[in-house]
Amino acid sequence: MILGIDTSVGTAVAVVEADGVVLAEASSANPLGHAEVIGDQLRAALGMARADAPLGHAGAGTPGAPAQITAVAAGMGPGPFTGLRVGIAAARTFALGRGVPVVPVVSHDAAALGILLDQALLGETEAGRFAIVTDARRREFAYTVYEGIDDDGLPIRVTEPALTPRDAIDTVLAGFGAERRDTTAVSAAMVALVAARALAAGREVGPRDALYLRSPDVTLPAGPKKVGV
């Protein structure tokens, strides 16, 4: 089983089997307060996975959901500095405690995969180009352009995640011929599914470093302050 964690927009945690079966999911749409809810969400998702998994996985008579986790999928953004740090730290801490790998995932990839799977269920084989767009605050949007799905079942990126002023987003996307898909939540289940498919294909699809929207506002001082006598 794979534990998925994402705090690029709201806060989301999920436990997913390698074949894509979602055992448990907990989420909060609040773009703030990640640190306040991540612990409760982890406990809730792992508890639900333990209760709902078939016997022989995490059901009665087995060690339980945490012991069955084989990898942790971490949403690496793009996202704000503080929010991303909470989710990535939680993913790395859990993985370290269990002795399992962290699989980095571009959060926009997870949102794109959700859209592509929904389109496939509706029988839409020609998805065309579209862009995942998330609010970057400070009058900016973050976007990534996609077109279709590859042989490993993963979204094909046309662009890497980027920032643009809000007033320019439609012009930028028109230049790529991409339909705008505003995204206010990233599914941790989709983060875990991207990771599962990447692991099955022997690929690494996300960066090891977080995709921060911008540098933190707090900076180190240039030197000691002069004190008057």
Q: What is the mean pLDDT of the chain?
A: 88
pLDDT at 92: 97
Residue 32's domain spans which residues?
A: 2-201
Report residue 213's pLDDT band, with 50, 70 and 90 as the boundaries: confident
User: Is 41 among the domain residues?
Assistant: yes
172 has pLDDT over 90: yes
Q: With contact defined as beta carbons under 8 Å apart, do 75 and 27 qualify?
A: no
The verdict on residue 218 lying in a domain is no
pLDDT at 56 over 50: no
pLDDT band at 19 (very low <50, low <70, confident <90, very high): confident
Task: Average the pLDDT over 76-103 and give the result.
Answer: 94
How many domains does one find in the chain? 1
On whether residue 225 sits in a domain, the answer given is no
Domain assignment present for 224 = no
pLDDT confidence of residue 159: 97
pLDDT at 161 over 90: yes
CB count in 10 Å sphere of residue 110: 29
- CA 2/CA 65 separation, integer angstroms: 10
Closest CA to 210 of 92, 100, 40, 34: 92
Q: Is the pTM of this model over 0.85?
A: yes
pLDDT confidence of 229, banded at 50, 70, 90? very low
C-alpha–C-alpha distance, residues 190 and 20, integer Å: 9
Q: Is residue 106 situated within a structural domain?
A: yes
216 lies in some domain? no
Q: Is the pLDDT of residue 63 over 70?
A: no
**Spatial distance between the Cα atoms of 31 and 184, rounded to a whole number of angstroms:** 9
- Does the pLDDT at position 191 exceed 80? yes
**Is residue 212 a part of any domain in this protein?**
no
CATH code of residue 90: 3.30.420.40
In-domain check, residue 96: yes
Asked if 15 contacts 72 with a C-beta cutoff of 8 angstroms, the reply is no
pLDDT in tens, 101-142: 999 999 999 999 999 999 988 877 666 899 999 999 889 999
Q: E strand or H helix at 191, and its extent? A: helix 188-201
pLDDT greater than 90 at residue 185: yes
- Whether pLDDT at 51 is above 80: no
- Which of the four pLDDT bands, split at 50, 70 and 90, describes residue 31? confident
> How confident is the model at residue 218, as a pLDDT?
43
Measured in degrees and rounded to the nearest 5, phi and psi for residue 95 equal -60, -40
**6 contact partners, CB below 8 Å, separation of at least 6:** 12, 74, 75, 87, 105, 107, 110, 186, 187, 188, 191
Q: Give the per-residue pLDDT at 61.
A: 38
